[in-house]
Amino acid sequence: IAAVTTAGPRTIREFGDPDTQEGARRIDALSPHRQLLPGVPQPAFLIMSGANDYTIPLWMGGKFVAAARNANQNAAVLWRVDWNAGHS
C-alpha cells in the first residue's frame, strides 16, 4: 500500500514498514485478503467505497470483492460505490 497510495507513507508508523520483516508480518496479519481462505465459509460482505476517496483508491474495494467472491462462491459479496463520496 505504501508504494501505491497517497496514504501509504503515513500509515507505516501505524501498521508497519513493508520493507522490514516485522512490518511485513504485521501488515500480513491485518490484511483482510489473508483472511479469505478458499472453501472456508464466510459471512456475507457489504463493501462500501467512495469514488472520490483520496486515501483509499476505488480499485482496492473491487480487489477485495473479487477475492472474496473467488474464495467462496456461495457467500453473498456486495459492493456499493458512492460516486459522490470521499474519505469523510
CA 33 to centroid of chain Cα atoms = 7
Distance (Å, whole) CA 88 – CA 79: 18
Dump pLDDT digits (tens) for 25-48. Answer: 998 998 888 888 888 888 899 999
pTM: 0.73
- pLDDT of res. 12: 84
More confidently predicted of 54 and 46: 46
56 touches 87 (CB < 8 A): yes
